[in-house]
Amino acid sequence: MITRSALLYLSEREGLKDFAARFKLFKKLTIRFVAGENIEEAVEAIRLINQKGCTASFDHLNESVKNEAEARAETEEYLAVLARIDETGIKSNVSIKLSQFGLQIDPELAYRNARRIVQEAASRGNFVRVDMEGSDVTQATIDIFKRLRAEFGLNEVGIVLQSYLRRTMDDAHDMLTIPARIRICKGAYKEPPEVAFPDKKDIDDNYVKVMQLLLSSGTYHGIATHDPKMIAATIDYMQRENIGKDAFEFQMLYGIRRDLQEKLAREGYNVRVYVPYGKHWYPYFMRRLAERPANIWFVMKNMIKG
Ligand SMILES: Cc1cc2nc3c(=O)[nH]c(=O)nc-3n(C[C@H](O)[C@H](O)[C@H](O)COP(=O)(O)OP(=O)(O)OC[C@H]3O[C@@H](n4cnc5c(N)ncnc54)[C@H](O)[C@@H]3O)c2cc1C
């Protein structure tokens, strides 16, 4: 039985990443979770998502770039995405990871690159979500986000918090004083028990508490989950507190619980689908398998079918 932590361990192996990326065969495995290798494939996926009544967020897959030139290339990719959103009229914003822009090389480099994206988005009336990565970069990510938020508006740049982190409730209070638009999710990385709750129950309890704090804040936030219990808790809370459906959005990942995405959209909730694309899909793909090791069988069946 392959466990969550074994899959998360494999997700961090650089050698496997390069090995997997080189083989076309692996592309077939990823179709369920990754919208394609280039912008145009992602645009087509988003058109279909829009037709189902959902909005989207582009995510160009390429974590932990190794040098300044790669970080610049990532920045150019996102500038092109923002232009393409305008040209095609699709309903989408963008999600970025600061490691893509050089966070591990030099935080100033990541800040400058991220700033270019947020500036471009702001000039186009669009929005940039700064994803949250492993706990080794939580503080650096928050620091850069705060600088960006000081320069740009509430509806131009937002952040992500993870309910598995012990620090998240404090961060949520802090962010709301700015104020900032927050996406709350459970958290997808391998973390030690000192920084993250090891038990699902604690992660879920914290998720509900943060979700309630966000919904009551009056700012537009993202409730990111596929967990029917978290979704039910959100709907229950908003109904009890008389909070409107347009005061927040549900967010889910491309290819996961499409039935639920469409059902919530039909019921009048705002639903945004996070759409990853690109050649460097390996760590993202492995984190999705880690969330639900049963998906390995789904993937293998597809491979055998050819
Ligand atoms: C829009 C969005 C953005 C995200 N951004 C970030 C981020 O910036 N940083 C970060 O650390 N994490 C991010 N995540 C990932 C998140 O942290 C979780 O790892 C992921 O969403 C799984 O948690 P869950 O809330 O869906 O519930 P879980 O407790 O993992 O699962 C609950 C139920 O949801 C369904 N489900 C969950 N995952 C899958 C799957 N892979 N395949 C099929 N069914 C599944 C199953 O029915 C499962 O029983 C994001 C998630 C979403 C939806």
Distance from Cα 257 to the centre of ligand 1, integer Å: 10
Which of 193, 99, 178 lies closest to 137, judged by CA?
99
Radius of gyration over alpha carbons of the chain, in Å? 18
For residue 152, give Cα distances in angstroms to 96, 122, 142, 245: 16, 8, 15, 26
Q: pLDDT per residue over 131-173, tens digit each?
A: 999 999 999 999 999 999 999 999 999 999 999 999 999 999 9
Tokens 């969550």 belong to 4
Query: Which residues belong to the active site?
Result: 131, 183
DSSP state letters, 179-217: --EEEEE---S---TTTB--SHHHHHHHHHHHHHHHHTT
Cα 125 to its chain centre, rounded Å, is 20
Q: What is the pTM of this model?
A: 0.92
Examine the pLDDT at 99 and tell me if it is beyond 90. Answer: yes
Residue minimizing CA distance to atom 36 of ligand 1 = 226
Ligand 1 pocket test target in 103, 204, 227, 229 with most atoms within 8 Å of CB: 227
Q: Is 131 left (phi over 0), alpha (psi -120 to 50) or beta?
A: beta
What is the rounded distance in angstroms from the CA atom of residue 141 to the CA atom of residue 103? 8
Query: Residue 36, exposed/middle/buried by CB under 10 A (0-12, 13-18, 19+)?
Result: buried
The whole-number pLDDT of residue 4 equals: 74
- The mean per-residue pLDDT over the stretch 17-44 comes to 76
Q: pLDDT per residue over 245-298, tens digit each?
A: 999 999 999 999 999 999 999 999 999 999 999 988 888 888 888 877 777 766
Examine the pLDDT at 22 and tell me if it is beyond 90. Answer: no
The whole-number pLDDT of residue 173 equals: 98
Examine the pLDDT at 206 and tell me if it is beyond 60. Answer: yes
List residues near ligand 1 (CB under 6 A). Answer: 131-132, 160, 162, 185-189, 224-227, 230, 251-253, 256-257, 274, 288, 291-292, 295
